[in-house]
Amino acid sequence: MNLLACSSHTAFFLTLTQHTEKSRIKMRRLGTLCSQSYMCSKYVNVTPISSFVRHRTGESPQLVLPSIRFHLVLIPIRFKVHKLASPLAFTDLPPPVQDGVLIRGDNALPAAKHALSILDGNNRFGIKIPYLLLTNGGGVSESARCHKLSQQLGMKIDPERFIQAHTVLKSVVHKYADLPVLVLGGKGNTLRKVAEGYGFKHVYTTLDILAWNRSVCPLHDHTDEERESVKTADFSKTCFAAIIVFHDPQNWFLDIQVMCDLIQSGGILDGPYQPKHTRKLVDLVFCNPDLVWKSDFDRPRLGQGAFKEAFQGVFKSLTGAPYPYTQFGKPTEATYKFAEQMLRGQLVENSSLDSVLVTNKSNPFVPPQSDNCIFV
């Protein structure tokens, strides 16, 4: 999880781990595949994909306590110099917080609470410093996640200060609001409701399609929970505009089968396969590029990035080429720009900052100069 906060320094984004050759290769490769989105080193000091950590929701951990980890990410706002007489150095914080850990198991670390309380006004200026918590997790609504997080941290975390992998989709709702979209990931009906909460009006899942015609994926049987989540529709007449992978899919086989069908037939599941250059393009969107993530198992578990690789492996073997897609989530430019907009909103609404800000609140951002930072 990333913590985005106002800072006295001009570093735009800071991550606590270093570039590696592997991460650069990964970036280049992903960059080649992305058609509608790209990554930009100006925006992103990328950590190796394989080291990303995401909190596992659900039951209590069994072996190793999972943790929410944040990389301290700063947006540069120049504060008046006299306020910086004895700044609190970031390195004064305990190592777990420096390493990005906010929560271990079900409990927040004291250091995390301390850091957040500083941002929440417990500082020598008595001001609330705008910040965001940014994670590649998801699968539930922002309000549900913040409710649990608030209990763990012992302080209210407002959904307006919280971005999970699929939150950025609010910025593209206008493109698909009135069109059928296929939403992948999550359990049962949960992400349909999240998507509808964002403003998507015609949201379907692969389980809906399987209920319409079991022959779509004859080896998959609905569980009772899955059956209860089904929304009925005639998919022989439904033309999907987009496939949006909100969260890590559980039913890879079913989901990849339906993705391949929809894409090859120009959006209508029951339609004939059409030649590549004549068929209608079905937009494909992923919200989390992480190949693996850290759960309470000893070794990293496969994430949404692995699902993407599996899909592309199959699609390429069927058609000869991978399918172009849009990538959201850390560390993509689109997600950081979305976060920037949310922070701007907090700045504009926060009158207590007027006395300490040098720059214009409507445009407080300056180019990055360094990766080091200090709190105000």
Interacting residues toward a second copy by CB under 8 A:
50, 56, 58, 61-63, 213-221, 223, 248-253, 256-257, 260-261, 270, 272-273, 291-292, 295-299, 301-302, 305-307, 309-314, 316-318
Cβ closest to a second copy, residue 201 vs residue 214: 214
Cβ closest to a second copy, residue 233 vs residue 310: 310
CB 46 → a second copy: shortest distance, Å? 16
Distance CA 309, CA 307 (A): 5
CB 123 → a second copy: shortest distance, Å? 39
Query: Which amino acid belongs to residue 9?
Result: H
CB 53 → a second copy: shortest distance, Å? 15
Cβ closest to a second copy, residue 262 vs residue 353: 262
SS (H, E, C) the chain: CEEEEEECCCCCCCCCCCCCHHHHHHHHHHHHHECCCCCCCCCCCCCCHHHCCCCCCCCCCCCCCCEEECCEEEEECCECHHHHCCCCEHHHCCHHHHCCEEEECCEECHHHHHHHHHHCCCCCCCCCCCEEEECCCCCCCHHHHHHHHHHHHCCCCCHHHEECHHHHHHHHHHHHCCCEEEEECCCCCHHHHHHHHHCCCEEECHHHHHHHCHHHCCCCCCCHHHHHCCCCCCCCCCECCEEEECCCCCCHHHHHHHHHHHHHCCCECCCCCCCCCCCCCCEEEECCCCCEECCCCCCCEECHHHHHHHHHHHHHHHHCCCCCEEECCCCCHHHHHHHHHHHHHHHHHCHHHCCCECCCCCCCCCCCCCCCCECC
CB 220 → a second copy: shortest distance, Å? 7
User: Which of 49, 88, 53, 92 has its CA nearest to residue 71?
Assistant: 53
CB 87 → a second copy: shortest distance, Å? 41
CB 363 → a second copy: shortest distance, Å? 40
Cβ closest to a second copy, residue 234 vs residue 298: 298
CB 63 → a second copy: shortest distance, Å? 7
Cβ closest to a second copy, residue 22 vs residue 80: 22
Cβ closest to a second copy, residue 10 vs residue 136: 136
Cβ closest to a second copy, residue 152 vs residue 265: 265
CB 310 → a second copy: shortest distance, Å? 4
